[in-house]
Structure 1
C-alpha cells in the first residue's frame, strides 16, 4: 500500500527565480539548492524544484507526486501492476534513491520513490 506523499516535484526553467519565489514571495524555507534541484519545506511536505533542460509553455509537464511505499518498491510495483497500473518506465536506481514512474487515471505523472539504502 502507499504510505503517504514523499515529495512533490515542480518543474522550473529558472532555478534562481523559482527559489526566490518560494522563499521570498511565499515565505517557505529553502532547505537545499543547486542549479538542477532545490528543496522547499512546505510545512513538512517536501517540494522539489526540478530544473528541466527545456521548458516550453503548454508543452505538458507539471508537478510529479512521489509516493513512498510502505513495503519495498519492487513489491509495490508488482501490486500496482496487478491492479492495472501501467508504469511508464522500469524501476531506476540513482544516488538519491529509486523511482518507478507511472500515471494516474487522468494522465498525471506520479512515481514511487524510496530513499537510498545504507
Structure 2
C-alpha cells in the first residue's frame, strides 16, 4: 500500500477570526476562502479550517491529534510563540526544539525547529 497524507483540517468556531490568525501565523494569505471550509496551501500540504457548527456537526476537542508545524530555527520558533498561549514550553527533545501553543479557536498546535549548534533558550 502506498499512503500519502496531503491535508488535515482544524475545527473552528469563527472562520474570519481563524483565517486572520493563520494568515498572520503562516505569513501568507488563505488559498481558498469559504464560510464553511477554507484552506491554506502550506508548501503543497492543505491545511483546512472547518466551521463545524455551520455544518450542523458536533465536535469534541481533544489532545489526541496534534498538528505539528516546523520552522527553520529556534529564533523563528520563539518569535512565532510571542503573545500566544503556550501550552508546552519550548524544550529540546532529541534533535528538535518543541513547543505547543493554542490557536484562536482552542486547537493545540505543535511548533518545532531543528537544533543547531549554538542554540540557547
State TM-score, norm by structure 2: 0.43
Q: Name the one with the larger strand percent.
A: 1
Relative contact order higher in (CA < 8 Å, ≥ 6 apart): 1
State TM-score, norm by structure 1: 0.44
